[in-house]
Structure 1
Amino acid sequence: MSAIFAAPRSVRLRNLVLTGLATAGAAAGAVTLMPSGASAAEMPQTTHHVTTAVHRAHSAPQAASAGSGNLDGWIKQSLAIMKAKGIPGTYEGLHRNIMRESSGNPNAQNNYDVNAKNGIPSKGLLQVIDPTFKAFHVAGTANSSTDPVANITAAANYAAHRYGSIDNVNSAY
């Protein structure tokens, strides 16, 4: 190989990971630079937002593949159940929190935060851990923390008890 095309050793030791992410019809991306031998466990753990963003970039399949429906439909189904059960919340509050927590991916799972390290990773559209899902599960929804409607409704029920409404949640909860 000619010297013109040989990359310096320091460049060869790094790899660039570029992962596309589709969310409710919009495209987003995440770029992570890390040594080629580094593992995900060595990634920075500065905030919940950073770790879930890193996870979302490596999660698949996207929202459209999780059963029939889409994010708009799941939110509307959850709102109907919430209304019937007296659980407060709005479309905007649910959507804002879903986009921050999972970018609309019902299969998102955070394998990096303290919950994951304790063996109970956050899952689904609103990143609910299983004990919270079980405690705040709403009758009439699936008994699965990754079912989109069950996840949204349980998370909204939890937020209502803890914060008054999902609308009052503006960060990791």
Structure 2
Amino acid sequence: MPANFRIPRSSRALTRTHKAAVAGVATLGAAAIAFTAVPGGAHTTASADTVAAPVQIGSQPVKDVKASVTDQLAGTSVKIQAIEAKKQAAAQHKARTAAAQHKAEAAARHKAQAAHKAAKAASRSAERPRMETVAAATSYGNNLDGWIRKSLSIMRQHNIPGSYSGLHRNIMRESSGNPAAMNGWDINARNGIPSKGLLQVIQPTFNAYHVPGTSANIYDPVANITAAANYAAHRYGSIDNVNSAY
């Protein structure tokens, strides 16, 4: 190179300019890279001075959330217990009500049964005097037929068996229908206790089998028939079973 050749002074200035341009291009490139790194739809107008505050999770907020959840669970448990207690109380009340109703119904049935029995007994008591009154009011002839029929009425009241034909048959055989008849020749007469009346009854037998409500006179036709029928019922089952001396 010729010794007198010199590089112009302006070359150093260009060099500084170039450096400045390169620095600017680098800065623009970094900005472009930063811009492309921003997600789509995000705002890019924030200034460089705006810096997001760092998210910190402290222990106190977590504790507060846990306590709140615990309180809510405790409140729910209390509510459930209250509901269950109400259900149990309602069930117990229903059971007590049903038991009381059952007891009342049983008492009502018992009372009704007792009233029915009492009414039935009263009806029977009222019916018995009515029947006896009707029997007493019935008039019977003062003859053998009337005596037999009246005796049969009294016999029914005292549950003494016997029929009209059975009485009539034995009366006719023993006394021929004479209420004053007396046997003075048989063994009873010889022993001093002669047979008397329609059915020829001795005095000891008449006294033993006399039916209340009839005359105490052995010669009374109705008293004689009824006492003899009562004696025959105890010994033979019924006056109808007697066909000879008894």
Q: Normalising to structure 2: TM-score of the pair?
A: 0.43
Spell out, residue by residue over 1:58-81, the C-alpha distance to the aligned partner (whole angstroms, 9 max, x if none). xxxxxxxxxx70000000000000
Q: Shift of residue 138 of structure 1?
A: 0.1
Alignment partners' CA distance in 2, 1:134 and 1:77: 20
Structure 2 counterpart of 1:159: 232
Misfit runs of 4+, over 4 Å: none
Of 146, 166, 180, the residue aligned with 1:73 is 146
Which residue of the partner structure matches residue 127 of structure 1?
Answer: 200
Q: Larger strand proportion, structure 1 or 2?
A: 1
Return the offset for 1:83: 0.3
Give the 3-state SS of the residue equivalent to 1:110 in structure 2.
Answer: coil
Q: Structure 1 counterpart of 2:172, which letter?
A: M
Residue 59 of structure 1 corresponds to none
Task: Return the structure number with greater helix share.
Answer: 2
Counterpart in the other structure of 2:242: 169
Paired residues, what number? 106
Correspondent of 1:147 among 200, 215, 220:
220
SS, match of residue 167 in structure 1 = helix
Where does structure 1 lack aligned partners over 5 or more consecutive residues?
Answer: 1-67
Tell me the secondary structure at the aligned position of residue 122 of structure 1.
Answer: coil
**RCO greater where, 1 or 2, for CA within 8 Å and sep 6 or more?**
1
Larger Rg: 2
1:89 has 2:158 as partner: no
Name the CA distance, whole Å, in 2 between partners of 1:143 and 1:116. Answer: 21
* Structure 2: gaps spanning 5 or more residues: 1-140
1:100 aligns with 2:173: yes
Equivalent AA in structure 1 for residue 224 of structure 2: N
Q: CA RMSD in A?
A: 0.7
Identity of aligned residues (%): 75
Quote the Cα distance in structure 2 between the aligned partners of 1:144 and 1:96. 23
